[in-house]
Amino acid sequence: MKITLHDIGRRYNREWIFRHLSYTFSAGKRYAILGPNGSGKSTFIKVLTGSLSASEGIVQYERTPQDICLIDDVYNHLTIAAPYMELIEEFTLSELIDFHFRHKKYLLGYDKESLLHLSQLQSARDKEVKHFSSGMKQRLKLVLACCSDSELVFLDEPTSNLDVHGERWYQDLVKQTIGTERILFIGSNQPKEYDFCDEHLHIQNYKLFK
């Protein structure tokens, strides 16, 4: 998968969140989307995932030179973990995993039991998600995103609600699951979340235009 942005911008009312942004994201690379809180990182990620449309410009998804993916179909090729992403809290952990993988395939080498082991949530498999701590919910979001067979992986503020042990767990999770064929996006303003990324894109560099 390759994503090419052709002079895109997004605005709310008359304010441009970012503008005149052209970039190419290539398979096998890890990208940090950087900026202070409120700078537009999450908005940019939502445009890349198709949750929001660009106000101007073109976002192109190319699986091969002959296979252009339509924006309406891109959700089939991505997974995301983000603070604004809701979990179905009435499900138990086991039920939620089963539900998620009705719509996604497991990453090669993983199944339900290995995912539970990796998440370190085995003892909570029959517990309703609404009773999880914020850190447990974050682990669940991250492991579902990383252990799905998706070409695009988006992790927005990935260590939110994680303690120091959880932050190390996150680093190991990325090392284990993000291979050379996927594109990883990290939305962050904390180096500990993205210090392994190949390229950095600073959203504030695209706020200079009125």
pLDDT, tens digit (0-9, with 9 covering 90-100), for 129-178: 999 999 999 999 999 999 999 999 999 999 999 999 999 999 999 999 99
Task: Give residue 71's pLDDT.
Answer: 79
Q: By CB neighbour count within 10 A (0-12 exposed, 13-18 middle, 19+ buried), where does 123 fall?
A: exposed
Give CA 2 to chain center in angstroms.
16
> Which two three-digit tokens encode residue 133?
């701590």
Name which of 174, 100, 139 is nearest 111 in CA terms.
100
Beta-carbon contacts of residue 117 (< 8 Å; ≥ 6 apart): none
pLDDT tens-digit readout, 53-63:
999 999 999 98
| pTM, entire model | 0.95
Q: Which of 115, 145, 120 is nearest to 133 (CA)?
A: 120
Segment 15-42 mean pLDDT: 96
Structure confidence at residue 189 (pLDDT)? 94
* Structural domains of the chain sorted by starting position, each given as residue range(s) with its CATH number in brackets: 2-206 (3.40.50.300)
Question: Does the pLDDT of residue 33 top 60, yes or no?
Answer: yes
The span from the CA of 55 to the CA of 147, in Å, is 32
What are 8's strand-pairing partners?
Answer: 21
pLDDT of residue 208: 65
Confidence of residue 210 (pLDDT cuts 50, 70, 90): very low
Q: How far apart are CA 74 and CA 185, in angstroms?
A: 15
